[in-house]
Structure 1
Amino acid sequence: MDSQTYTRLDTLTREQCDFSFKCFEEELVNNIPDRIIQSLLNLRNYHLGSQVNSLEHCLQTATRAFRDGADEEMVVCALLHDIGEELAPYNHGQMAAAILRPYISPENAWMLEHHQLFQAYYYNHFIGRDRNERDRFKGHPAFERTLMFCEGWDQLSFDPNYDTMSLSDFRPMLESVLSREPYGSIKS
């Protein structure tokens, strides 16, 4: 089957559709962990005024979560929480949530999406904003989870002397979470 045989989706045949889905799986889905690792490695280029680069920050956050006994899904969320900073600096939490949402719980997706606002507690008052903006979400089922994530791991993870686990230590967990059957899968 030649991939160039259709020019519009409204003329797509069943065979062309099947071939396209096969290519989708082979070219995109099967390589997600590798592309995520590459995106994480790109974070080495950004320090954002900190003593550690953004990759090290993500690794520290994930290491702290792992050492505190967090489950595999939470550790992967910690690892990827800032993955969107390079392309979406003002809404990187939403980007991280969008990447993982098909594979994680709604509570963890909400946590990723909102962690920036919760993290702003530590600096909003310096820029003339209310540091308690996060309080408008009190009562949400993922409020305490997000508070714990920021207080216990995220805001602590800028230490150049912290004994951080390596990216390769987290790869099996990343692959495990990303190997889950995603909602909305074309396989369904």
Structure 2
Amino acid sequence: MSSPDTDRIVSWTAMEHGTAEDYAFLDSQHYAHVREGLVDNLLNILKCLRGPTLGYPIDRYDHSLQSASRALRNGESTDLVAAALLHDIGDAFAPENHSAAGAAVLQPYVDEGTHWVIAHHGLFQGYYYFHHLGGDRDAREQYQSSPHYDACVDFCENYDQNCFDPKYPNLAAEDFRPLLDEVFSRPSQVPATAPLPTPS
């Protein structure tokens, strides 16, 4: 991967004046820069989950390490292990929709099933506690026809609801570095920018 060219800048201050050559250059600069630091940035965001346990036996950071450690030791796919590590990363910057935020981070790099599981894990996790708060623990049933329903049930059972054990021997975040490097070095499966809708 080429390093960003820090000596060259475009000649304009408004995007409307850019040329195709300018945007090819800027796109390559941006891609090189964000890809170079992506895994470091994700691990730094994950570290934002360190802190008070908020009543749980462990904090959200150790919960994430435990989720990924269990998934790795159970022989789950590389995609699922990476997702287990990062499944709650959205808690650090999007607490009201952490599942969607975490899934959006993963979507370009993981398989469709893994993305779906992380996008829906918050609702599926509710099976274990929604009814104690006056909610519907069976809200996940609305997705029963999804081909990924069982995988999400399994994820929450084996790598989420049970990952609050302070005695469990978690692996360290850096132990997952090679796996994250593999996942996040893949070509993106989604376009960098969505095409504009066709007028009807």
**Which interval holds the TM-score relative to the shorter structure?**
over 0.9
Shift of 1:56: 0.4
Task: Give the one of 25, 30, 38 matched to 2:31.
Answer: 25
Question: TM-score with structure 2 length normalisation?
Answer: 0.88
- SS of equivalent to 1:64: helix
Shift of 1:2: 4.3
Task: Give the one of 69, 72, 79 matched to 2:78.
Answer: 72
**CA deviations over 1:83-105 (Å, ceiling 9, x no partner):** 01011112111011100100111
Matched, 1:117 2:123: yes
Matched, 1:14 2:20: yes
Matched, 1:165 2:188: no
1:3 and 1:16 in contact (8 A); partners too? no
Within 5 Å, which residues of 2 pair with 1:28-107?
Answer: 28-107=34-113
Shift of 1:68: 0.9
- SS of equivalent to 2:57: coil
Q: Determine what percentage of the aligned residue pairs are the same residue.
A: 36
* Aligned-partner residue type, residue 134 of structure 2: G
* Aligned-partner residue type, residue 178 of structure 2: P
Matched, 1:179 2:185: yes
* Aligned-partner residue type, residue 22 of structure 1: S
Cα distance in 2 for residues equivalent to 1:24 and 1:151: 39
Unaligned runs of 5+ in 2: 1-6, 194-200
Closer, same or farther: CA 95–46 of 1 in aligned 2, 3 Å: farther
Closer, same or farther: CA 73–18 of 1 in aligned 2, 3 Å: same
Unaligned runs of 5+ in 1: none
Question: TM-score with structure 1 length normalisation?
Answer: 0.93
Q: Higher helix proportion, which one?
A: 1
- SS of equivalent to 1:104: coil
Shift of 1:162: 0.5
Shift of 1:48: 3.2
